[in-house]
Amino acid sequence: MNEISPRKTLPRLDESLLTHLPPFSKLERRDIHVILDQATSRRYEEGVAIFDEGASADRFFMLLDGYVRVVRITPTGEQVTALHIPAGQLLGIAKALGRDTYPATAMTATDSIVLSWPTRLWDAYVDSYEGFSTETYKTVGNRLGEMNNRIVEMATQQVEQRVANALLRLINQTGRKVSDGIEIDFPITRQDLSELTATTLHTVSRLLSAWEKRGLVQSRRKRIKVTDPHALVEISQA
């Protein structure tokens, strides 16, 4: 798919959109006004790369609406989904990692609205705005913590536990309450889930089918709903 209006920015955004979002939540509205004036806003369709792994990190981004999949390419050319990023978070923050290239590809999991700034402004924001650096490094720490937890899971847990833990993380981060459970609030395939848990598509399909028969989950095309979270917690801790 192609980006919607790739050369056309969205109308000017109101400062209130950023007042509750780290790393801008500690700033005065006049500071946010300046930051928004320096930003470019764009809308992306589902399935579009906002930036690519290995590309020069000339901009950093804030996801205002939508969801993003962080994708890595293995040495053998396989695509692996490393994590998902919900709205309200920074991404493409290579500067915070001491890099000048993007360490992964950011693919939109839904239609998304994204702000971006030139990377040359990063140091000025860190120096000028209270909370910008501390909140940014909290974000980096949280993502590294999530990745470390997944490494431990892959080394110590059975496949069934890993898949249960992945579903619990997703409904915790992006879940939407519905009448009969909690639905992951973006399109996710069984292939995506297999990449997140370092297992095969066949194994994930078998597990979801078995759990569906037991009333733990409901799975349809690109949608997964957890109908018995407590049972998944028990499986994850078995």
Reported confidence tier of residue 5, pLDDT bands at 50, 70, 90: very low
**Helix (H, G, I), strand (E, B), or coil: what is residue 147?**
helix
Domain residue extents for the chain: 15-153, 157-236
> CA 232, CA 238: separation in Å to the nearest integer?
10
**Helix (H, G, I), strand (E, B), or coil: what is residue 133?**
helix
The CATH label, of 2.60.120.10, 3.75.10.10, 3.40.50.10490, 2.60.120.650, for the domain at 15-153 is 2.60.120.10
Global pTM value = 0.79
Determine phi and psi for 104, rounding to 5 degrees: -155, 170
Residues 130-137: what's their mean pLDDT?
A: 82
| Each residue's pLDDT tens digit, 85-113 | 989 899 999 998 899 999 999 999 999 99
Do the domains 157-236 and 15-153 match in fold?
yes
The predicted pLDDT at position 6 comes to: 39
Nearest to residue 197, comparing CAs of 98, 89, 80? 80
pLDDT for 161 beyond 90: yes
CATH code of the region 157-236 = 2.60.120.10
Reported confidence tier of residue 10, pLDDT bands at 50, 70, 90: low
Percentage with pLDDT > 90 across the chain: 50
**Helix (H, G, I), strand (E, B), or coil: what is residue 95?**
helix
| Each residue's pLDDT tens digit, 24-79 | 888 888 888 888 889 999 999 999 999 999 999 999 999 999 999 999 887 887 77
